[in-house]
Amino acid sequence: MKIVLLVGAAVVVLLLAFAAVWKVLPRAPPRPSGLPRGPGFEIVQCTTKLLDSATGPKSVVLMGANLDEAGAQEPLTAALFETFKSQRMMSPPDTSGFIVTIAGPSDRAAFDARIADLMRTVLAGGGLRQ
* pLDDT tens per residue across span 74-127: 999 999 999 999 998 889 998 888 899 999 999 999 999 999 999 888 878 765
Pairing of the two strands 37-38 and 58-67: unpaired
Q: Is pLDDT of 28 > 60?
A: no
Nearest residue to 95 via CA among 126, 64, 129, 127: 129
CB atoms within 10 A of CB 23: 7
Nearest residue to 47 via CA among 29, 60, 34: 60
Question: What is d(CA 21, CA 27) in angstroms, rounded to the nearest whole number?
Answer: 12
For the whole model, what pTM was predicted?
A: 0.68
Q: What is the 3-state secondary structure (H, E, C) of 6-46?
A: HHHHHHHHHHHHHHHHHHHCCCCCCCCCCCCEECCEEEEEE
Pairing of the two strands 37-38 and 41-51: antiparallel
Q: What are phi and psi of 122, to 5 degrees?
A: -70, -45
Are 119 and 83 spatial neighbours (Cβ–Cβ below 8 Å)? Answer: no
